[in-house]
């Protein structure tokens, strides 16, 4: 039966914990490192997720992508089912007629060397159409983008990314100049605004040419992708069904393509990163278990060392349950101390990391912080049970004899 | 006040039993000063533990202030120790992390006495053992005699019916021992029942009554007329 107010017991336990400064500090450190690791790793995971979401949504969330081939969970593609139908610029044009479609961009890309005068640079070359600026939300800094062309028609025109233009033309205007890409000679009609990188692809270090030209240049029989911009995000599910129906009608009833919406893509990414974060955090949580062992050991030693104190308390009429509560509380105090310390350390390390590596994606999810602190409470409680029981079960007479 | 009737205490050791106390009967009146002497292994510590409600007789009755301790639960005996009995040990058993004041407050802390009342009472008791100026010192800043006086203050702070002192001067030099016994005897003169366990005949001779223990058996011999 606890006679004294819990606050007084807490004060007494705190005194006992701080009485052994070094030993308590070391066991607190064990838990602290665990908590700091959990906080840092979840922050990194959450930061990465937010970074990727931001990267994707810079193109708007109304984008849909169609890729050739059906992603299936089973079966061998192409063995049964006869011919596969190619995804063509004509397919893209057919989709343009659907209601709710804002823009359609057939995409055929490849790597090629862009040459002018004595200079050249190997870059990604996108075969697209005139609607790309609207769908991706980019404009031209100089000149204009590709003009509207009939599906699959070639035209000897090119628009350069700002970095590519700078690398090849320096400070001169590239407008009206003829560049060579492979066997093609193309007139530069525009330079894009800077857009930055998407997951490591430098969108500024590219050239845009008409999709028909690109297919000829890279000897492609079909498109790699059709990008669609829906006019409203609410209409996307219905639009997706219509797209499927239209393409299947054109492909003799076969669904030999894959339609991905932006939201789906984000969900998949979010899930993958979530799993990775969870796995890494679980590994970090192992260090919390190690920290718990540290507390257990320290308290076990403490019970041995303070046998005389326990004996005295019993002689003073303090009952077993109170002694048990006391040692249990000490374990929880050590763990919570570690939790708070680790949290502070984790936040500090993040601040330092941000200063050293400004671009590092870090975001501390509040629920992870809460979970880590709850976990330390659990760790302390788990580590405290055995020593506290031992302390309470000591024979007062034997305990008094110890000194 | 204290009445032991035919008390036995036996411990099983291996196959056999050890008789720590054999048929001990003893009565101690309130305000008495009793010395319990005997060689080591004579059972004086066991008797002290039984008197202090830390242990129970295997056989026989122990009545403290009219209550049969043998029939009490652990919680009830804890209550008795807390309120009616003060202990003084050979090795002081002070908590090194607490000040003299903190050590004296300890029994009151665990009895749930409010902080202000603890302060006042501890200061009062420390003053009565002449250590008020040392109240803020920790045990390692005190001499042996001072430590034992802090322990005595702690033993009496709850106003117990009796103080049980186990070799209270066994770890002290002669001067400190005089000082400590002086404090205990002064309290005894004010009505505190005092039971001192010792193997030192000089110390025992200061008591009004000496109880000899040998092989767990009692040889009651009055020392002086009291």
Residue (of A45, A296, A9) closest to B106 by Cα position: A9
What is the pLDDT averaged over residues B32-40?
A: 90
What's the pTM?
A: 0.72
Domain range summary for chain B, segments of one domain joined by +:
2-221
Mapping DSSP to helix (H, G, I), strand (E, B) and coil, where does residue A141 land?
strand
Classify residue B99 as left (phi > 0), alpha (psi -120 to 50) or beta: beta
- Rounded to whole angstroms, the Cα distance separating A145 from A189 reads 7
Structure tokens at A61: 């969330």
- pLDDT the model gives residue B223: 45
Which of A308, A317, A397 minimises the CB distance to B82?
A317
What is the pLDDT averaged over residues A217-231?
A: 89
- Rounded to whole angstroms, the Cα distance separating A297 from A293 reads 6
Residue (of A160, A153, A156, A158) closest to A92 by Cα position: A153
- Per-residue b/e over A65-75, b at no fewer than 16 CB within 10 Å? bbbbeeeeeee
Query: How would residue B38 be classed by pLDDT, with cut points 50, 70 and 90?
Result: confident
What is the pLDDT averaged over residues B30-40?
A: 91
Q: What's the pLDDT tens digit per position in A386-399?
A: 999 999 998 888 88
Query: How would residue A310 be classed by pLDDT, with cut points 50, 70 and 90?
Result: very high
Query: How would residue A149 be classed by pLDDT, with cut points 50, 70 and 90?
Result: confident
Strands of the B59-64 sheet, one edge to the other: B16-28, B2-13, B59-64, B67-68
Structure tokens at B110: 């665990």
How many A/B residue pairs have CB atoms within 8 Å?
69
What is the pLDDT averaged over residues A316-334?
A: 91
Structure tokens at B135: 């109240």
Structure tokens at A48: 């990465």
Orientation angle between helical segments A21-57 and A6-19, nearest 10 degrees: 100
Contact B165, B194 (CB under 8 A): yes
**Angstroms from A382 CA to nearest CA on chain B:** 25
- pLDDT the model gives residue A198: 67
Provide, rounded to the nearest whole percent, the portion of chain A with pLDDT above 70.
95
Q: How far is CA A92 from the centre of its chain?
A: 32
Q: What's the pLDDT tens digit per position in B108-132?
A: 999 999 999 999 999 999 999 999 9
Neighbouring CB atoms inside 10 A of A139's CB total 13
What is the pLDDT averaged over residues A66-88?
A: 63
User: Of the ranges A49-53, A168-172, A321-325, which one carries the lowest mean pLDDT score?
Assistant: A49-53
Q: What's the pLDDT tens digit per position in A245-293?
A: 998 888 888 888 888 887 777 788 888 888 888 888 888 778 888 888 8
The answer to ipTM > 0.85 is: yes
- pLDDT the model gives residue A74: 47
- Rounded to whole angstroms, the Cα distance separating A256 from A135 reads 25
Contact A59, A133 (CB under 8 A): no
- pLDDT the model gives residue A82: 44
C-alpha distances (whole Å) from B62 to each of B38, B47, B78, B204 are: 21, 11, 16, 24
CATH architecture of structural domain B2-221: 3-Layer(aba) Sandwich (3.40)
**Angstroms from A19 CA to nearest CA on chain B:** 6
Using the 8-state DSSP alphabet, how is residue A76 labeled? Answer: -
Set of chain B residues whose Cβ sits within 8 Å of the Cβ of A313: 106, 110
What is the pLDDT averaged over residues B210-223?
A: 78
Give me the count of residues in chain B: 226
**Angstroms from B18 CA to nearest CA on chain A:** 17
Which of B49, B93, B98 minimises the CB distance to A397?
B49
- Return all residues near A157 (Cβ < 8 A) that are at least 6 apart: A146, A147, A186, A187, A189, A209, A210, A213
Residue (of B154, B158, B165, B195) closest to B80 by Cα position: B158
Whether pLDDT at B224 is above 70: no
N-term to C-term CA, chain B: 18
What is the pLDDT averaged over residues A329-358?
A: 89
Would an 8 Å CB–CB cutoff place A12 in contact with chain B?
yes
- pLDDT the model gives residue B103: 96
Set of chain A residues whose Cβ sits within 8 Å of the Cβ of B52: 315
Residue to test with chain B: of A2, A5, A317, A322, most B Cβ within 10 A: A317
Average pLDDT, chain A: 85
**Angstroms from B225 CA to nearest CA on chain A:** 33
Q: What's the pLDDT tens digit per position in A176-212?
A: 999 999 888 999 999 999 887 766 678 889 999 999 9
Set of chain B residues whose Cβ sits within 8 Å of the Cβ of A21: none
Which of B87, B93, B106 minimises the CB distance to A308?
B93
What is the pLDDT averaged over residues A77-91?
A: 67
Whether pLDDT at B222 is above 70: no
User: Of the ranges A69-78, A328-337, B73-82, B147-156, which one carries the lowest mean pLDDT score?
Assistant: A69-78
């Amino acid at each position: 039966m606890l006679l004294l107010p819990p606050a007084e017991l807490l004060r007494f336990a705190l005194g006992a914990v701080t009485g052994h400064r070094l030993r308590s500090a070391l066991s607190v450190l064990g838990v602290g490192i665990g908590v700091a690791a959990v906080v840092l790793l979840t922050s990194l995971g959450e930061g990465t997720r937010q970074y990727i979401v931001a990267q994707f949504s810079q193109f708007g969330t109304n984008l849909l992508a169609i890729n050739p081939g059906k992603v299936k969970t089973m079966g061998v593609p192409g063995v049964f089912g006869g011919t596969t139908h190619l995804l063509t610029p004509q397919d893209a044009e057919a989709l343009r007629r659907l209601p709710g479609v804002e823009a359609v961009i057939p995409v055929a890309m490849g790597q090629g060397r862009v040459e002018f005068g004595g200079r050249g640079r190997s870059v990604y070359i996108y075969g697209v159409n005139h609607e790309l600026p609207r769908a991706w939300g980019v404009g031209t800094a100089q000149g204009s983008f590709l003009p509207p062309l009939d599906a699959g028609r070639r035209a000897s025109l090119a628009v350069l990314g700002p970095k590519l233009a700078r690398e090849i033309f320096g400070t001169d205007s590239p407008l009206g100049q003829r560049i060579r890409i492979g066997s093609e000679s193309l007139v530069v009609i525009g330079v894009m605004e800077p857009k930055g990188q998407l997951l490591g692809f430098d969108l500024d270090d590219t050239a845009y040419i008409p999709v028909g030209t690109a297919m000829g240049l890279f000897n492609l029989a079909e498109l790699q992708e059709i990008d669609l911009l829906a006019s409203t995000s609410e209409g996307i599910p219905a639009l997706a069904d219509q797209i499927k129906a239209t393409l299947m009608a054109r492909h003799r009833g076969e669904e030999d393509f894959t339609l991905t919406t932006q939201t789906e893509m984000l969900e998949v990414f979010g899930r993958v990163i979530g799993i990775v974060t969870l796995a890494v955090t679980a590994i970090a949580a192992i260090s919390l278990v190690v920290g718990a062992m540290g507390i257990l050991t320290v308290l076990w030693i403490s019970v041995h060392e303070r046998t005389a104190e326990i004996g005295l308390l019993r002689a003073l009429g303090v009952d077993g349950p109170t002694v048990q509560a006391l040692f249990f509380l000490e374990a929880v105090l050590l763990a919570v101390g570690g939790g708070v310390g680790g949290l502070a350390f984790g936040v500090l390390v993040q601040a330092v990391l941000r200063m050293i590596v400004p671009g590092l994606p870090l975001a501390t999810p509040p629920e992870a912080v809460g979970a880590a602190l709850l976990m330390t409470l659990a760790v302390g409680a788990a580590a405290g049970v055995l020593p506290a029981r031992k302390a309470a079960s000591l024979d007062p007479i034997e305990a008094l004899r110890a000194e | 006040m204290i009445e032991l009737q035919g008390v036995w205490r036996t411990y099983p050791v291996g196959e056999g039993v050890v008789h720590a106390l054999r048929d001990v009967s003893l009565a101690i009146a309130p305000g008495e000063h009793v010395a319990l002497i005997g060689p080591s292994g004579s059972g004086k510590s066991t008797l002290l533990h039984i008197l202090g409600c830390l242990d129970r007789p295997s056989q026989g009755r122990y009545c403290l202030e009219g209550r049969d301790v043998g029939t009490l639960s652990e919680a009830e005996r804890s209550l008795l120790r807390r309120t009616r009995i003060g202990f003084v040990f050979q090795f002081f058993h002070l908590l090194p992390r607490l000040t003299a004041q903190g050590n004296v407050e300890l029994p009151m802390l665990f009895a749930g006495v409010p902080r202000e009342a603890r302060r006042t009472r501890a200061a009062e008791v420390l003053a009565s053992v002449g250590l008020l100026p040392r109240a803020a010192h920790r045990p390692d800043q005190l001499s042996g005699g001072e430590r034992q006086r802090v322990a005595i203050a702690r033993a009496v702070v709850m106003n117990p019916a009796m103080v049980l002192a186990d070799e209270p001067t066994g770890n002290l030099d002669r001067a400190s021992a005089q000082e400590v016994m002086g404090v205990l005897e002064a309290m005894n003169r004010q009505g505190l029942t005092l039971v001192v366990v010792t193997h030192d005949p000089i110390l025992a001779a200061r008591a009004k009554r000496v109880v000899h223990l040998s092989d767990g058996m009692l040889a009651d011999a009055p020392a002086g007329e009291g």
